[in-house]
Chain A
Amino acid sequence: MIPAIVLSLPFIYILATKPVLRRLAIRNATRRPRESALVIAGSLLGTALMTASFVVGDTLTSSVTALAYSRYGPIDEVITVLPADAALLQTRMAGLSHPDIDGSLEISTLDVSTATLSSNGSNATAASAAPRAQLLELDFAKASVFGGDAKATGIMGAGPAEGEAVVLEALANRLHIRAGDSFTAFALGNQVKLRVQRVIRQTGLAGFWRGREVLSYNAFVAPGTIRKLAAGVDVQALASGKVAKGSLPLFMVAISNRGGVESGAAHTKEVSAELEKRLKGLRTNISPVKQTLLDAARKAGESLQQLYQTIGSFAVFAGILLLINIFTMLADERKSELGMMRAMGLKRRSLVATFASEGWLYAIVASAIGTVVGLGIGRLVVEGAGRIASSGSSDLRTPINFHFTPSSLQNGFVIGLFIAIATVVGTSISTSRFNIISAIRDLERSKVRGGKFRSAIGSLVGLSGLALAVGGFAAKQATTIMAGPALLALGVATFLNRKQSHRLVLTLCAGFAVVWGAAGVPIAIGVGAAPSPTVFLIQGLILVIPSVMLLSEYQNEVGHGLARITGRRLAMRLGLAYPLARKQRTALTLAQFSIVVFILTYISVISSMFEGQAAAFTKDLGGGYNVVLDSNPIDVGELKATAGVTAVAPIVHTERASVTPRSTKEATEWPMAGIDESFLNVTPPRLTDTGKYPTQRAAYEALIASDHFAIVDDRFLSRQGPPAAVVGIGDKFTVKDPTSGTSRELTVIAKSANDLLFNGGWTSAKAMRAIFPTTALASRAYISTTNPDAFVAAIEARDFRKGASAVTISGRVNEQLAQQVRFFGLIRSFLSLGLVVGIAGIGVIMVRAVRERRRQVGVLRALGFQANSVSNAFAIEAGFVAAEGIIIGVALGLISCWTLTLSESFGQKFTFVVPVGTVVLLMFATMVGSLAATIGPARSAAKIKPAVALRITD
C-alpha cells in the first residue's frame, strides 16, 4: 500500500492545504453523480484487468504448488541409484546428521503396468488396465513419522503383507478395484498378483510419483515384491550395452528438510551441498524435487500472469484512451469557467492541481472498485481455464483451485491507480495550456506547429529508433526489431513536420509505420528472433496508432464521400459533422475501438488458422508414420509381425532428463528421444529448418550418425505462452541422467515442427545410451500401419502386460489443437472485456456529448429538427466512429495474420484462413453494442426541450 500512499500524497496535500482547489475538485466531482459514476466506470478497467492477471497467476502458482502436498509431502530431495548400488548408498548415508535435515527414508520403486484379468493363464485379457503404474516398497512405520508431520506423509496404519498392496485412489479407480480385490502387476517379463489391502488418498509421501502425470498410480507392496519381478535382470550386463526388458528397479533415499512442506525447500541448497559431499564418487543423482516443483509453480504462475497482463494491456490501452477522452471533454465543457479562473489569477499549475485532484478522487474510487471487479474477472478466467484443463487427459490435468494473495490485490490496485493518475495528470497538463481569451470566448484552439525544440526531440526519437532497430536485428530481439523502425518513423515525422507539408509527412511516415507493423513480426521471426506476447502488443500499437492518424488526416474526404453516398440527409450530415470537426476526440475513440477489435480479430484468425491446420500438422509431425506407441519395452520384431504394420521405428525415450542450455545454465526436466537408422525407413517428421544440411534426410542422417547432435522444436524447454525458442541452431545444451548423473553436451543442428507428441529433444539412440547407460530403453515407437485406429485398439488389448499405450498421430494433433483453440477462446473472452469497455466508453462519450450540446440541440429543435432526427444524428455519430474503428481493427488484424503465413511462424507454416462467421459476428456485435450504448444518450437528447436548452448558459 506504500506506493499507493506515495502516489496519493501530492493530491492529499493539495486537498488538505488549498481550500479553493479542494472546493473546486470536490464540487466538480460531486456535481453530476451519474456522470462521475461513468468516469469511475471508465477508470476502473486498468485495475480490474491487472488484478485479474495477478489472481490468475496466483491461482496457477497455488494449483501447481498443491502438487507439493499431494505428491511429495515431507520429501524435499531424492537420491536415486540402481539396486546394484543400493548397498553403497546405504553405507554412505549411515549416520546422516545435519541441522537442516530432519529425516531420511529408503524407498524402492519399479515402473509396472497393471491390470485386472478376465481369466487366468497366458490367454487372459485385461478387464481394465493402468499401463503406467509404480510399485513402491518402504517401511510404513518409519514413513508415517517421516518429516515429523504424520498427516503430511499420507501414510498411516500397517504396511502390506506379502502378496498384498496398499493402492492409491487413482489406480483403484482406473482398475475398478477396492479392498479385497486382486490385480496383477507386470514388469520385465514377469508378473505378480496382488490383493488390495486398502485404498488410500493421494497425499504427501503416499503420492510420490516421478512421471509428468498429476495423478499417482501407486501401489505400496511388501519388501521383496520388486525383487521377485526383477528376477533375472543383470544390471551389470545392461551397463555394457545389453537392452533391458523394461524399466529397471530403482533404489532411492528421500530426504526431508527441516520445516514444513513448503518452507523445508528453503534449505535445499545447504542440504544438497551436504549430500553431494557425502556421496562424492558414487553413481547417483541428488534431485531437489520439491524446490524444482515450487520453482516450476512460481514460473508457471508468473508466466500466465505475464501473458494475461500483456493481453490485458490492449484493453488497458483502450481504457487509457477513454480516460483521456473523458477528461478532454470535461476540460472542453469547462473551458469558459477555467478561462475565467485563469483570468482571475489562478495559476496554470493550480489549474492542473485542481483537475488532477478531481481525477485522483475518481481514480482512488475506481481502483478500489476495480480491485473487486478484477477479483471477479480472475474468478471467471480461472473457471474457464479449469474447463479447458478438464478437457485434456485427466492424467495431466492440474486441478485448478481459485486462489489469490493480498499482495496481488494490492499490486492490482497500485498499478491501476498509477495508470489512472498518470493519464489524468498528463491530460490535465495538456488541457491547461489554453489561451485565456479563447477559452472565455469559447474559441477553438489554434494549432501549434512544432518549434526547434520539437525538431530536436524528433531527431532524438528518430536516432533512438535507428539504434534500437540496428541493435534489435543484431541481437535478434523481436521487441526492439518491431519498435525501432516505428520510432524512427515517429522521429522523422516530428522532425519534418515543421519543414514540410503536414499531410505529406504524416502520410509517408504513418504509412511506413503501418506497413512495418504488418510485416515486422514475420521479418523478426525470419531473422530468428522469438516473438513474446509483448511483441504482439507493440505490433498492435504500431498498426493502430498510425492507421488512426492516417484516417484522421483524411477524415474529411471520408465524411464527404459518405455524405455524397447517403444523399446529404440532414441527420447523417449532423451525425458526421461532430466526428469530422472534433478530430482529436474522434481519433481517441477510434484508437480505443481499433486496438481491441484488432487483437480480437487477430486471435480469432490465428485460432482458426490453428484449427484448420490439423491435416498439415499431422503430416508434419508424423511424416510417413501414423501411430505413436509407448510400451515397456518396445518389441520391434513382435510389432513388425502385427497385421497391417508396414514400418516400426523404436525410440529410446525418457521423460526425465535434466536439460541445461549453455546460455542460461538453468536445468529443466524435459523429455529426450533417441532414434536409429530405422527411423528413416519411411518419411520422417518434417524439419522446419535443416541448418547447414541440404535436405531433411541429410540432417537426420547426421543426427543418427553422431552422439553429440540434437534436433529440437521452438517449444523446447519452454512451457507456457507462445513458443519462445530457448535454444537455436548451433546452440549447445547438456543432458544429464537423473539416476546415474552421467551427462553429455549436445549441439542443435536442426529445428523440428512443434512437438505435440511430447517426444522432447531428438538425438541418436547411441547418444541416449551413452547418457543413460543403465536405464536407456526403447519404450516408444513410431509406427506406420494401414489402419491406425484398429491398430491402437488391438495393441493396447494385446500388450497390456507391457503397459502398451498408443495414440494415432492425427488423434493427438486434433486433441492438442482443440485445447489450443479453447485457450484462444478464453483469451478472447478476457479481451472482450476491453470491447465491453470500448462500447461502454462510446456510451460515456455520447452522454457527455449530449450534455455538451444541449444548447445546440435546443437550437436545432427550435429550427424545426424533429426529436427522432436528433436521436438519429447521435446514433449515426456513434455508429460512424464505431464502424471506422471496427473496419480498421478487422483490416489490420487480417493483414497481420496474413503476413504471418508468409513465413514459418510459431514453428509451423500456416495457411491463411479467415473465420468469416466469427469476424462478422465480432463486427456485428461491436456495432450493435455501440449503437445500444448510444440509445440512452440519444433518447435523452431527443427529449431536450428547446426552451429549456436555450436558457442554459453554461
Chain B
Amino acid sequence: MSEILVATGVRKVYRTGAEELEALRSVDFSVTEGEWVSIMGPSGSGKTTLLNCLSGLDEIDGGTVSIDGRTLHSMTDAERTSHRAHAMGFIFQAYNLIPVFNAVENVELPLLLAGVDAKTARARATETLDRVGLGARLKNRPTELSGGEQQRVTVARALAGRPKVVWADEPTGALDSETANVVMQLLGELNRTDGLTLIVVTHDEEVGRSAQRLVSMRDGRIVSDESLVVGAS
C-alpha cells in the first residue's frame, strides 16, 4: 500500500496577544492508504490541532503536508476547499449537521459540492443513509433525531462522497457506550470493506484500540506510534 498522507516537520503556533503557544512541535507523520489510525493523548496535547492541520482545515507555521501526492498548504484556499470536497470526509464530536437541512439533504451536501448531479447525489445519499440504518429517517431534521442517529448521519455524510480519507474528531464523544460501539463497528466495517483510510482522534481507550495503529501525543509531539494489528512488528 502507498502512503496517502505524509507530514514532515509540521509546526503550529497559536498566538494570543504577546503570548505564543506551540501546539505542534515539528511533527512527522504518515498514513498508508486504507489504514485506520487512532490519535490519542491528554487534553491540550495537540490531537485536534494535528487533525485540523493535516486535513487542511487550518494553516500551519512550518513543515509540509501532502495528501495523495499533493502538497496541501501550497494550494490556494479554493483549491484546498475543492480538494476536501473531492477527497475527504469529516466526522465531528458535536455532529455539526446543518439544522435547516434534513438527513438526506445533509448527506448529499458533499456530493453536490463535489459536482455530482442532484439526482445521483440524492440516490447515493439515500443509499448511504440506508447503509447506516437510517433509511426510514431521510426527511427528519437533525433536531428530530437522537444523538446516535445524528452521528450516523454525520458518518453517512462523511462517506457518501466516497472520500479517500475520513477524519473523525471524537466521533463517539457525545454518545453512550452502546451507540458508540454501533458507530465504531460501522466505521470499522467500512474500513475493512471499502478500504477507507480512517484517522480518528479520541480520548476513548476502547475506540483508540479498535484501530490498526495507535499514535499517542503529548505537548504537541508524537510520543509513541504502535501498530495494533496482530502479528505486526
Contact = CB atoms under 8 A, between A and B. Distances in A.
A743 B85 CA distance: 92
A859 B92 contact: yes
B83 to A, nearest CB: 8
Contact of B101 (A568, A577, A950): A577
Contact of A859 (B77, B98, B118): B98
Interface string B149-184: 000000001000000000000000000000000000
B100 A581 contact: yes
Contacts of A867: 77-78, 81
A637 interface: no
A570 B98 CA distance: 13
A866 interface: yes
B142 to A, nearest CB: 9
A860 B98 contact: yes
B113 A568 contact: no
Contacts of B130: none
Interface in A832-881: 855-856, 858-868
A859 B118 CA distance: 20
Contacts of A946: 52, 57-58
B112 interface: yes
A947 B56 CA distance: 9
Contacts of B77: 867
A444 B143 CA distance: 6
B205 to A, nearest CB: 24
Interface residues of B, number: 32
Which of B81, B97, B101 has the most chain A CB within a 10 Å cutoff?
A: B81
A578 interface: yes
Contacts of B90: 859, 862-863
Given A443-B143, A856-B98, A856-B99, A863 B58 contact: no
A30 to B, nearest CB: 20
A866 B78 contact: yes
Contacts of B97: 859
Given A864-B82, A947-B57, A570 B113 contact: yes
Interface string B84-114: 1110101010101111110000000110111
A858 to B, nearest CB: 8
A70 B105 CA distance: 76
Contact of B58 (A567, A580, A947): A947
A863 B109 contact: yes
Interface residues of A, number: 31
Contacts of A948: 58
A415 B62 CA distance: 60
Contacts of A950: 52, 57, 92, 96
Contact of B85 (A856, A864, A868): A864
A397 interface: no
Contacts of B110: 863-864
Contacts of B83: 864
Given A577-B101, A947-B52, A864 B84 contact: yes
Nearest to A855: B96
A945 interface: yes
Contact of B81 (A443, A577, A866): A866
A570 B92 CA distance: 22
A855 B83 CA distance: 21
A860 to B, nearest CB: 7
Nearest to B154: A859
B92 A863 contact: no
A863 B97 CA distance: 11
A864 B112 CA distance: 10
Contact of B86 (A442, A577, A864, A947): A864
A856 B96 contact: yes
A859 B57 contact: no
Interface string B56-92: 0110000000000000000001100111111010101
A946 B100 CA distance: 19
Contact of A863 (B84, B99, B100): B84
Contacts of A856: 96, 98-99
A856 B109 CA distance: 13
Contacts of A582: 100
Contacts of B141: 444
Nearest to B169: A950
Nearest to A861: B81
A733 to B, nearest CB: 65
Interface in A331-358: none
Nearest to A951: B48
B53 to A, nearest CB: 8
A868 B78 CA distance: 9
Contacts of B81: 861, 864-867
Interface string A928-954: 000000000000000001111011000
Interface in A374-429: none
Contacts of A858: 96
Contacts of B94: 855
Contacts of B109: 570, 860, 863
Interface string B32-72: 00000000000000001000100101100000000000000
Nearest to A868: B78
B118 A862 contact: no
Given A864-B110, A864-B113, A581 B52 contact: no
A570 B106 CA distance: 12
A868 B81 CA distance: 11
A855 B57 CA distance: 13
A788 B90 CA distance: 85
A722 B23 CA distance: 72
Given A570-B113, A867-B78, A947-B58, A862 B84 contact: yes
A577 B52 CA distance: 28
A580 B90 CA distance: 27
A150 B217 CA distance: 98
Given A947-B52, A947-B58, A864 B100 contact: no
Nearest to B97: A859
Contacts of B92: 859, 950
Contacts of B113: 570, 863-865
Contacts of B86: 864
A35 B118 CA distance: 38
Contacts of A574: 98
A578 B99 CA distance: 9
A577 B99 CA distance: 10
Nearest to B84: A864
Contacts of B101: 577
A951 B96 CA distance: 11
A13 B100 CA distance: 41
Nearest to A581: B100
A861 B58 CA distance: 11
B58 to A, nearest CB: 4
Contacts of A568: 118
Contact of A862 (B57, B82, B100, B114): B57
A312 B176 CA distance: 57
A954 to B, nearest CB: 12
Nearest to B96: A859
A868 B99 CA distance: 21
B196 to A, nearest CB: 17
23 contacts: A444-B143, A577-B98, A859-B97, A862-B55, A862-B84, A863-B84, A863-B85, A863-B110, A863-B113, A864-B85, A864-B88, A865-B85, A866-B78, A866-B81, A867-B77, A867-B81, A945-B58, A946-B52, A947-B52, A948-B58, A950-B57, A950-B92, A951-B48
8 nearest CB pairs, A to B: A864-B85, A947-B58, A581-B100, A947-B52, A947-B57, A864-B113, A859-B96, A577-B100
Interface of B: 48, 52, 55, 57-58, 77-78, 81-86, 88, 90, 92, 94, 96-101, 109-110, 112-114, 118, 141, 143, 157
